[in-house]
Amino acid sequence: MIKLLHPSNSEAATGNSGPIEAANEEAIALFVNVTSLTGSVTVKVQESADGVDWFDVPGLTSGSLGSTGAVAVRATIGTKLSDKVRAVWTVVTGPATFTARLSTVDFQGSGN
């Protein structure tokens, strides 16, 4: 199932998406589609059981993104994710302005 973390909107500073439900997912992918960019950013997925304390999901961090295009990062967690996930983007070199759509795909039960 595809879940949208961040619609294609312009961002000019480090930030994060709102939380979405992710309970029981074990293998997910982060898709970053950058349509406009100055500077560079990284994007990662975090998880939380309570929506207050957030932790990076191992393997779901992009490298430094410095150009437009699509990037996919896939991780098999091995344990079920917490109840919620969110995307976090960090300005690496800036000032950075980017427009990107961020989404996850759940591979649970797909044999992958």
User: Over the stretch 46-102, which tens digit does the pLDDT of each residue have?
Assistant: 999 999 999 998 888 888 988 888 888 877 666 778 889 899 999 888 777 777 777
d(CA 22, CA 89): 19
58 touches 77 (CB < 8 A): yes
| Phi-psi map region of 111: left, alpha, beta (phi>0 left; psi -120 to 50 alpha) | left
User: Over the stretch 23-35, which tens digit does the pLDDT of each residue have?
Assistant: 777 777 888 888 8
62 touches 43 (CB < 8 A): yes
Higher pLDDT, 24 or 38: 38
The domain locations on the chain are 2-106
d(CA 19, CA 11): 17
d(CA 107, CA 109): 6
pLDDT in the model for residue 76:
66
Q: Indicate whether 16 pLDDT > 90.
A: yes
What dotted CATH number matches 2-106?
2.60.120.260
- Give the model's confidence band at 108: pLDDT under 50 very low, under 70 low, under 90 confident, else very high: low
pLDDT in the model for residue 103:
80
